[in-house]
Chains A and B, each alone.
Chain A
Amino acid sequence: MRDDDKKIEISNLRVTYGEKEALKGISLDVYENEILSIIGPAQSGKTTLLKVINRTIDLVPDAKVQGTAKVDGENVRDVKSVYQLRRKIGMVFPLPVGLPLSIYDNVAFAPRAAGIRNRKDLDAIVEHCLQQAALWDEVKDRLDSLGTRLSGGQQQRLTIARALSHQPEILCLDEFSIAVDPVTTMRIEDVLKELRSQVTIILVTNLVQQARRLADRTAFLLNGELIEIDINEVIFSDSPANQMTYDYVSGTFG
């Protein structure tokens, strides 16, 4: 229906870790500038999907990938530079991973890796990203202190600032609110709403209500299979296409 706007196209994607099948041949598209949330219980393959998209699946020794995942029409397995691909995608992990560097260096890490050396440019990027992640006011006076000394919620916003620092076109968040208190979660959700106009967001979450609040569309994954993907108005209605979706979303199951 909106073929031109397809940012990511996944078709018949199958991933196995040794004997275990994590994704059993799923197909879905992500459109430009939407928030797609992916819900489902643990072990349903949500994180694996993200890892395929930015190819950090390469770091898992016994993982085998079949089928295709395309970003901007290009198969991720054929990209010339995996680093170029990863710079296009911002990634936020469940537990905040503050690199053992200063707050400034955490945010400046990716721009530096991409070759930006000019201190003024870096300063501008760091301030801009920290402001986007709603963290600037809290840390602007101590940019040189260690990122790992921040509180959990601040660290998670730091990782969001870091994920934005290389101006990604796609932002993937993997259960970002697991280690964050509800108030900070709401602040981060506000941040995401504002980012919607600039980037495509994939939001993997355990919280059904979060998917409902934030997403344009929602995909429901269960045991490595895509049960249903549709606009939120359908998924969270009384009559989604699949009864299991309804049960999961309404809390009868899962």
Chain B
Amino acid sequence: MINRHRLETLSEPVLEWVIRLCGISAIIFVFGIFFFVFREGADFLFRGLDLVEFFTSPEWYPTSVSHKRYGVLALIAGTASVTVLAMVIAVPFGLGAAIFVSEFCGPKLKETFKIIIELLAAIPSVVWGFIGLTIMNEMIIDLFNAPIGLTVLNGGIILALMSVPIIVSIGEDALKAVPDSYREAAEALGASRWQVIYRVLLPAAKNGLLAAVLLGVARAIGETMAVLMATGHAVKIPHSLLDSVRTLTATIAAELGEAPVHSDHYQVLFIIGVLLFSITFAVNLTADLVVKGIRQK
């Protein structure tokens, strides 16, 4: 008895510390990643990089012999256009599907749906890129009579298809977490199915739904291989959905292997990494503040 008691008093603080370490390690990893990415590019960032040119010039010629230019505006425009298009498609479809799966389908259909959606989420991104490169490419050429099908449209649709399963499964979890008593109370007040959904369920699940959308956005911004294959990899600011673009992520993936270690080019690619990191951070932070704002009201 006494031994057991002593063991418990000993194990409690140990466990507490193990858990605390796990929590702290997450923070350390995030800062660690940021630090090492930043360190690789820091030298050039402070020594030679013209930040104004970096952000405002669409000219990306890192390997030009006569005049190297490092402008990422076109790359940012590429990432932004593909991401925005993907979200315009994926958010309504994803949330709609989440509502359908959670509120309108029978238990059997629901199981089938969830399995299919999880399968969809498990498809490797290179396979999606392959679909973009072959099937979607031909479809866009045929449908729009375009010279090339590797475009913003192609990449946006592929990214949307990749984000939808995430939005559906997390969104469905959020809706499932709304207590049934809310549904019952609202129905007893004479509300129709739709009124229950948009008056009660959506407000009650809004944090979870926002998280679902954000994870979708994060996936779209961070996705590399699929967009590299589907968007045509041309550095330019798109003027229509049928223009080819190149994204920030695809640039890093395609060029890092070629750039001599510690060259200016190599360092700029790491600075792009820091930029990507900051964008995702800003998206998450905004979302956090929005959610907090809603909660306080």
Contacts and interface: CB of A to CB of B under 8 A. Distances in A.
B203 interface: yes
A86 B189 contact: yes
A100 interface: yes
Nearest to B107: A61
B19 interface: no
Given A101-B203, A112-B199, A93 B185 contact: yes
A166 interface: yes
A91 to B, nearest CB: 4
B182 A113 contact: no
Given A99-B185, A100-B182, A113 B200 contact: no
A162 interface: yes
Contacts of B186: 99, 109
B8 interface: no
B195 interface: yes
A109 B191 contact: yes
Nearest to A87: B190
Contacts of A59: 183-184, 187
Given A109-B199, A113-B195, A99 B182 contact: yes
A83 interface: yes
Contacts of A110: 189-191
Contact of B190 (A61, A86, A95, A99): A86
Interface in A61-101: 61, 83-84, 86-87, 89, 91, 93, 95, 97, 99-101
Contacts of B240: none
Interface residues of B, number: 18
B190 A83 contact: yes
Contacts of A163: 189
A180 B179 CA distance: 21
Contacts of A113: 189-192, 195, 199
A12 interface: no
Contact of B182 (A56, A97, A162): A97
Contacts of A218: none
B112 interface: no
Contact of B188 (A54, A84, A100, A165): A54
B-side binding surface: helix, strand, loop or mixed?
helix
Contacts of B200: 99-101
B181 interface: yes
B237 interface: no
Interface in B161-220: 181-192, 195, 199-200, 203-204
B182, B190, B200: which has the most chain A beta carbons within 10 Å?
A: B190
> How many interface residues does chain A have, given as a range?
20 to 34
B190 A84 contact: yes
Interface in A140-165: 159, 162-163, 165
B187 A100 contact: no
A163 B188 CA distance: 9
A79 B138 CA distance: 55
Contacts of A109: 186, 189, 191, 199
Contacts of B203: 100-101
A86 B187 contact: yes
A6 B199 CA distance: 35
B5 to A, nearest CB: 38
Contacts of B188: 54, 56, 86, 89, 91
Contacts of A186: none
A217 B190 CA distance: 28
A253 B154 CA distance: 74
A97 B181 contact: yes
A83 B182 contact: no
Nearest to A110: B189
Contacts of A97: 181-182, 184-185
A93 B181 contact: yes
Given A100-B203, A109-B199, A113-B199, A162 B189 contact: yes
Interface of B: 107, 181-192, 195, 199-200, 203-204
5 contacts: A99-B204, A101-B199, A109-B191, A110-B191, A113-B195
Interface of A: 54, 56, 59, 61, 83-84, 86-87, 89, 91, 93, 95, 97, 99-101, 109-110, 112-114, 159, 162-163, 165-166
